Structure 1
Amino acid sequence: MRAITIPEPGGPDVLTWAEVPDPVPGPGEVLIRTAASAVNRADLLQRQGHYNPPPGASPYPGLEVSGTDSVTGSPLCALLGGGGYAELVAVAEEHTLPIPAGLSLEEAAALPEVACTVWSNLGHDLRGRTLLVHGGGSGIGTFAIQFGVALGATVVTTARKAKHGRLRELGAHRTIDYTEEDFVEALGKNKADLILDIIGARYLARNIEALAANGRLAIIGLQGGVKADLDLRVLMGKRASISATTLRARGHDEKAAIARGVRDHVWPLVESGAIKPVIDRRLPMSQAAEAHRVVEASEHVGKVLLAPAS
């Protein structure tokens, strides 16, 4: 088969579309013939040499895929530890999901990673609460906005101004241009019950300031650094909490449980049309370098897809 390899860490141009051995599925795994994969920030970090795949995972980038079971021909999508940028990928059957009714096989590639991330960090208790989503134009952000709205939350999001119109179309009640406004001041007295954060250290103190009493900050990315000071008195005074998670490093059983939760609780929202995959563009997998440039520059709204046969 062919796959995107990373001969050495570096910029987008190190990504190489090359002939590699076919994966061999192990016990409990299925072999998927890829229809499409999607680009995630974690892929950029892996390319740069900062985020290696977990033990036993494919060395190729790509954390989600859609395609067909190579034996039965059944359509499915899957959450991966790696390997999505390839014509074939082996994955634990428990980490696969059916294609939601109404979606094409290619569209489904935009969902597994974001759906599992958002579900595992926000859950389903959102009605009447205020949700602040940082990076609203990202794949995670566009999904989280729709998820929050579907579950009855008031959704506020930060993004560049050029993306605000699209994010309001997705249901965001308020959009904040982080290049011109301070999100804490913009929120004012309307503090957030939940914050989904991809920035990390740079936003830590202000995120705590933006939280309502008994609020929770869910950190899922570190684009703004890894170390920051925190005044614990502010956190304690608000009886607030912080969770910090990654999806890729979770164990087999935990990922399987998350996938089941997505199938049971999130897929019905997709099938009803309350949540739709947001796809910025589709590119041939051989042009993965261009896809990485687009995501690195935050030029996209939603997902950038890669298809082997494009």
Structure 2
Amino acid sequence: MTRPFRFGLGKLEIPDSDDWLKSSRQVEDEGYDILLVPDHLGKTAPFPPLVATAAVTGLRVGTGVLNSGFYHPPLLARDAATTDRLTGGRLELGLGTGYAHPEFHALGLDPGTPKDRVDRLEATVAQLISIFSAPESVPAPVQKPMPLLIAGNGNRVLRLAAEYADIVGFIGMRYDPTSPGGLRLISTEEFAERVAYFEEVVGARSAEVERNLLIQAVVVTDDRDAAIRHIQQTQLPIPLEELERSPLLLIGSVEQIIGQVQEIRDRYGISYLTVMDAHQEAFRPVVEVLAGK
């Protein structure tokens, strides 16, 4: 089954009221389907801006994605259910393990090992599902079930998404404390293997789970080769061949990028793409052409 395209816009800005409402309306006017807020210290809190966006638009809203290690599951369930009610049942709850060690340390938390972080994510997902499905839970979300996005790269996270998620978030990145931001791009072959692994473990639930990808860069240019070389020299010092082939980097003319997005869906089954606000304007012509198709 080929799903129609769906496009998300992630916003990192710390809002004031008027600017946030104006920018939310712009996101909707440009054809995006969902506005998402990430979860990083030093940036905006995830839930309050989503309520404000839903009050002035018809957009769906989501967390993209919460660091499960920061939250006590019953309190997170309360906040998510309240947000779902205040947004009229438009919340999509995105969860991940978290990776930024300085943020854990700033909260007095031990990030632990990757296994520890996946353990926390797994426990959080189980508790949230239990709370949301209990008839006596108050507040109760409008949506039953609450749409859940689980994002990650490793086998255990992808198995968790295969069992419980409504949306699997492929990130195409791997934790690397030596890289700026703590993540590095994985190879195209490894990305394809990760998608294939998910297809293997999702089994009979395959048609139920939407596939999402967080795009790392959108560059509209008539000189694709020069743009890729510039990215290699200034941002990602990895072989040019990898940059040219990576599904995480959309580079070229608008027509070329439209073709790349269609190839992502054809090759990987990924129909839901998210870009961050730095790439909103560059990606807008692609959204105009492909939204809902």
Taking structure 1 as the reference length, the TM-score comes to: 0.28
Taking structure 2 as the reference length, the TM-score comes to: 0.29
* Structure with greater strand percent: 1
* Structure with greater helix percent: 2
